[in-house]
Amino acid sequence: MILDGRHIASVIREELSQEIGRIVADGGRAPSLAVVIVGHNPASETYVRNKIRACEEVGIQAQKIAFDEDVTEDVLLQQIDILNQDPSIDGFLVQLPLPEHISEQKIAERIDYRKDVDGLCPENVGRTMLGMPSIMSATPKGIRELLKRYDIPTEGKRVVVIGRSNIVGKPMAMLLIQKNLLGNATVTLCHTKTPNLKEVCLEADIIIVAVGQPCTLTEDMVRTGCVVVDVGINRVNDQSDKGYRLCGDADFEKLKDKCSYISPVPGGVGPMTIASLLQNTLQAYKFRITKD
C-alpha cells in the first residue's frame, strides 16, 4: 500500500486552514513566516516558492527575504537578529544550502529557538531529544505524522534508520525512541560505516532511508511486509523533455509489492515536510500569543 504523503499533507493543510480561519474570524491576527534565501540555486528557489504558496493556502502570511550569492555572513546574521526581535514575525527559516563562505552552523546557532520553525537549531534539537517542549525537525516530524495517520504502530517495533544527517537521520532516531505512543520503537541507526547493512535491514519492521543515493534499499534487503519510508530525492537522467526524473533511495518498483506500506518519491515525505513547517509555524505563533 502506498503512503500517500501528498494526500495526508492536503488533509493537514485543510485542518490548519480551518484552525487559522477560526483564529482570524475571532479577531486574531494571522500567523506569519519569513523565508530567507541566498543566491539563485534553482532547487532552493522551487522549495521556497512551494513553502510560501503552502503558507498562503492555509492563511499564514509569508514573505521571502532574498539576498544575492555574495552577501556577507555578518549581514545575514544581522538579518537573523532583526527577525528574532520583530514582533510581527512568528517564525522564520533560512533555506539551505548556503554559499561556502557562510557557516550554516553559525546561522543555526543564532536563530531564536522559539522562532526556529525548521526545528534545526541546537536548543530545539536538544529539547526534542530530552523530551522537553520543542519545535521538532520538520522532516522527522512529518514522517512520524505519516505513520500515525496510516495507523502504523511504532511501539515495540524494530526500526532501522539509514543515514545519520542532522536534518533527518539523527532527529528521526531520537523521535522514535521517545517514551510515548508515537515512539517506543527499538531503533538502529545505520550509515556509511555500517558494514552489514543488508543483514541489519532484514531485522526491521520499519525502514526509513535517507541517504540521497538511488537504489540504496533493494528488494533483497527487506522482509516481506516491511514498512519503507523513503526520504531521498534524487535526480536521475532520462529521455524525458526535462532530461531527468526524480526518484528516492529505495527501488520502489521492485519493493512496492513486497512491502506492506511504502512511500513514493515524489509525493511521499516531501509534502509532509512542508506540512510540518506549517504546523511548526502555527505552534510558534501560539507560543508567542500565549506569552503576549
Residue with cell 506569552: 291
Whether 230 sits among the annotated catalytic residues: the reply is: no
166-to-68, 140, 210 alpha-carbon distances in Å: 26, 11, 11
Q: Which of 10, 63, 84, 166 binds a second copy (CB under 8 A)?
A: 166
Binding to a second copy by residue 156, rule CB under 8 A? yes
The dihedral region occupied by 27, where left means phi > 0, alpha psi between -120 and 50, and beta the remainder, is left
Rg (CA), the chain: 19
Task: Please provide residue 52's backbone torsions phi and psi, each rounded to the nearest 5 degrees.
Answer: -65, -40
Binding to a second copy by residue 219, rule CB under 8 A? no
Per-residue interface string for the shown chain with a second copy, residues 73-112, x marking contact by CB under 8 A: --------------------------------x--xx---
Stretch that binds a second copy, among 79-87, 139-147, 165-173, 276-284 (CB under 8 A): 165-173
What is the rounded end-to-end Cα distance, in angstroms, of the chain?
46
Stretch that binds a second copy, among 66-74, 80-88, 116-124, 243-251 (CB under 8 A): 116-124
Residue 20 vs 284, nearer CB to a second copy: 284
* Residue among 4, 90, 118, 230 flagged as catalytic: 118
Binding to a second copy by residue 242, rule CB under 8 A? no
| Cell output for 91 | 517564525
Strand partners, 33: 62, 91
Binding to a second copy by residue 56, rule CB under 8 A? no
Stretch that binds a second copy, among 25-33, 49-57, 181-189, 275-283 (CB under 8 A): 181-189
285-to-87, 195, 243, 264, 274 alpha-carbon distances in Å: 10, 45, 42, 32, 17
Task: Enumerate residues 6+ apart whose C-beta is below 8 A from 15.
Answer: none
For a second copy, how many residues bind (rule: CB under 8 A)?
38
Q: Which residues are catalytic?
A: 51, 95, 118
Using CB under 8 A as the criterion, which residues of the chain lie in contact with a second copy when the complex forms? 105, 108-109, 121-127, 129-132, 155-156, 158, 164, 166, 170-171, 173-174, 177, 179, 184-191, 193-195, 200, 203
